[in-house]
């Protein structure tokens, strides 16, 4: 489907053009040929791209930065993410270009297109592999919680690899095969409901786990005794500075990385315009910030300094057989599962653009590309023993580039705005901030690895 405002509506070849490579409306001056994705569907898709499994780690970040410091940092990172999207949309509006990769080519010629495309492919394949790795690790445990303790210990549903293959073939692959990202609005709305359910449960369960925390621990002699936290640990901290505080900003930045999905969503938006897509972005980021804040605050106020790096693990310790906690764990896993096809879309789009350019849509090429990417992701999730370490360095570098550095550089190279204009200064700030954050993230990962070896 073409939505180019300068194209002839009656041109047969334009009607068959693939939505993944169709140019944008210029200022919304011409009507689209067919109704695109609704505003609500686009918001759900972008929120699904934003949130993923990052919501599980932000309470831990709050415990290591303090409530006020966390809120300030979260709002700053969210604002910078929204601003970098504003720069990308402004470039799309000025040039009529509809892809991150082509904006890179416009700014830096062929190397810019290749660098942006490769970064998108690496980032999204890494993210998809990490999500499937989480499913492989957590899905068998989630299923076991619903079964009686007398169930057989070697049942097929306790094999994480087998379960991963089944859910990939039955859920991920059919959704990833869809040619338009707008169709995923239905699954994204379902994923949003799962996340909302998670947040509600975190709020409600705050009063089910009293502080000081107590739990059974096993002594060296094999006996059980009660271990209590102190009253002082039940006081919320407003500001915290420790070695673990270093993980806060990278965690937040990765929690708002949705830029590779923004332009595909923009392309399929009904009557697309920069202002409308900016509203989609603002609503999505604001709702995400709200859900992040509520879940982080109540998760932190439940466990205080004892918050686990993955929030739900704390509930497993103190409420191991709570049926609501069991269901919310399964809901989060389903949310992660439904996020994978959405992340797959820009990875496939970047692959097709780099390999085939803007050739007309072809189902054989589309199917082969989809099967190849999903196959690579599945094999990595199955056979790599620790996917997070493998993609730690790659993720921190590509995320910094896609979130901050590339939008800033592309804007400075393409835009005709004065170098003293607000957006030019803001773009330069994004580049500097992204470089600092990337170096900082790599340093933290290197130090962590050196301490663990």
As a whole number of angstroms, the distance between CA 310 and CA 141 comes to 15
* Exposed/middle/buried for residue 424 (C-beta within 10 Å: 0-12, 13-18, 19+): middle
Mean pLDDT of 42-67: 88
> Taking residues 416-443, what's their average pLDDT?
90
In angstroms, the CA 268 to CA 288 distance is: 22
Write down the pLDDT at residue 218: 43
**pTM confidence score:** 0.82
Q: Is the pLDDT of residue 87 over 90?
A: yes
> What's the mean pLDDT in 11-39?
47
Spatial contact of 82 and 282, defined as CB atoms under 8 Å apart? yes
Please write the tens of the pLDDT for every residue from 102-156: 999 999 999 999 999 999 999 899 889 888 988 888 888 788 777 766 555 677 7
* 91 pLDDT above the threshold of 50: yes
- Percentage of the chain modeled with pLDDT above 90: 42
More confident residue, 76 or 392: 76
- Token code pair at residue 224: 């059980």
Of 8-12, 269-273, 276-280, where does mean pLDDT reach its minimum?
A: 8-12
12-452: CATH topology = Amino acid/polyamine transporter I (1.20.1740)
Omega before residue 272 within 30° of 0, cis: no
Mean pLDDT, residues 292-314: 90
d(CA 55, CA 331): 13
Nearest alpha-carbon partner for 333 in 41, 56, 45, 43: 56
Of 10 and 260, the structure prediction assigns the larger pLDDT to 260
- The angle, 0 to 180 degrees and rounded to 10, between the axes of the packed helices 363-383 and 100-144 is 50
- The token pair at 396 is 């921190």
For the cut 90, the answer to whether the pLDDT of residue 13 exceeds it is no
Q: 57 vs 172, which has greater pLDDT?
A: 172
Choose the weakest-confidence range: 150-154, 238-242, 324-328, 440-444: 150-154
Q: How confident is the model at residue 276 (pLDDT cuts 50, 70, 90)?
A: very high
Higher-confidence position of 12 and 409:
409
pLDDT digits (tens, 9 = 90+) for 173-229: 999 999 888 778 888 889 899 999 999 999 999 988 887 776 554 444 444 444 555
Question: What does pLDDT average to over the chain?
Answer: 82
Distance CA 280, CA 286 (A): 10
Contact 86, 99 (CB under 8 A): no
Q: To the nearest 5 percent, what fractions of the chain are helix, strand and coil? A: 70, 5, 25
Q: What is the Cα–Cα distance from 438 to 399, expressed in whole angstroms? A: 8
CA-based nearest residue to 93, from 257, 268, 277, 318:
277
Q: Which pLDDT does position 270 carry in this prediction?
A: 87
Residue holding tokens 């399964």?
330
Q: Which pLDDT band, with edges at 50, 70 and 90, does 11 fall under?
A: very low
Q: Which of 141-145, 255-259, 316-320, 402-406 has the highest mean pLDDT?
A: 402-406
Structure confidence at residue 318 (pLDDT): 85
Q: Which residues contact 110 (CB under 8 A, 6 or more apart)?
A: none
**Rounded mean pLDDT, 58-85:** 93
Q: How confident is the model at residue 295 (pLDDT cuts 50, 70, 90)?
A: very high
Residue entry with tokens 């790096």: 309
Q: What is the pLDDT of residues 369-386, one digit of tens each?
A: 999 999 999 999 898 776
């Amino acid at each position: 489907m073409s939505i180019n405002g300068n194209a002839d509506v009656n041109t047969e070849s334009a009607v068959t053009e693939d939505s993944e490579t169709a140019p944008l409306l210029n200022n919304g001056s011409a009507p689209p040929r067919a109704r695109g994705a609704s505003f609500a569907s686009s918001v759900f898709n972008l929120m699904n791209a934003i949130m993923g499994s990052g919501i599980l780690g932000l309470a831990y970040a709050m415990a290591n930065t303090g409530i006020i410091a966390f809120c300030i940092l979260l709002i700053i990172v969210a604002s910078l993410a929204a601003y970098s999207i504003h720069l990308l949309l402004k470039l799309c509006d000025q040039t009529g270009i509809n892809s991150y990769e082509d904006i890179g080519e416009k700014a830096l010629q062929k190397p810019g297109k290749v660098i942006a495309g490769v970064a998108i492919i690496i980032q999204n394949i890494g993210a998809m592999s990490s999500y499937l790795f989480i499913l492989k690790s957590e899905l068998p445990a989630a299923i076991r919680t619903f079964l009686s303790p007398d169930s057989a210990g070697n049942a097929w549903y306790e094999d994480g690899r087998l379960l991963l293959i089944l859910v990939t073939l039955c859920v991920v692959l059919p959704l990833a095969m869809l040619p338009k990202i707008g169709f995923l609005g239905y699954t994204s709305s379902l994923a949003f409901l799962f996340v909302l359910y998670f947040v509600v449960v975190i709020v409600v369960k705050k009063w089910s786990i009293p502080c000081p925390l107590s739990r059974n621990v096993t002594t060296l002699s094999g006996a059980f005794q009660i271990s209590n936290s102190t009253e002082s640990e039940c006081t919320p901290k407003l500001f915290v500075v420790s070695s673990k505080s270093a993980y806060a900003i990278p965690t937040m930045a990765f929690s708002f990385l949705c830029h590779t999905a923004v332009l595909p969503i923009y392309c399929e938006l009904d009557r697309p315009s920069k202002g409308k897509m900016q509203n989609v972005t603002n609503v999505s980021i604001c709702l995400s910030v709200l859900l992040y804040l509520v879940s982080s605050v109540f998760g932190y106020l439940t466990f205080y300094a004892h918050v686990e790096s993955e929030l739900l693990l704390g509930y497993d310790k103190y409420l191991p057989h709570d049926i609501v906690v069991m269901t919310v764990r399964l809901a989060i896993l389903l949310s992660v599962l439904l996020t994978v096809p959405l992340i797959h879309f820009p990875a496939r789009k970047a692959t097709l653009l780099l390999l085939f350019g803007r050739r007309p849509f072809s189902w054989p090429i589309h199917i082969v590309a989809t099967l190849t990417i999903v196959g690579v992701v599945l094999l990595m999730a199955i056979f790599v023993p620790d996917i997070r370490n493998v993609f730690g360095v790659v993720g921190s570098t590509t995320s910094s580039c896609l979130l901050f550095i590339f939008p800033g550089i592309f804007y400075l190279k393409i835009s005709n705005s004065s170098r003293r204009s607000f957006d030019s200064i803001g773009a330069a700030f994004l580049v500097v901030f992204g470089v600092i954050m990337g170096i900082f993230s790599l340093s933290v990962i290197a130090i962590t690895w050196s301490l663990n070896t």
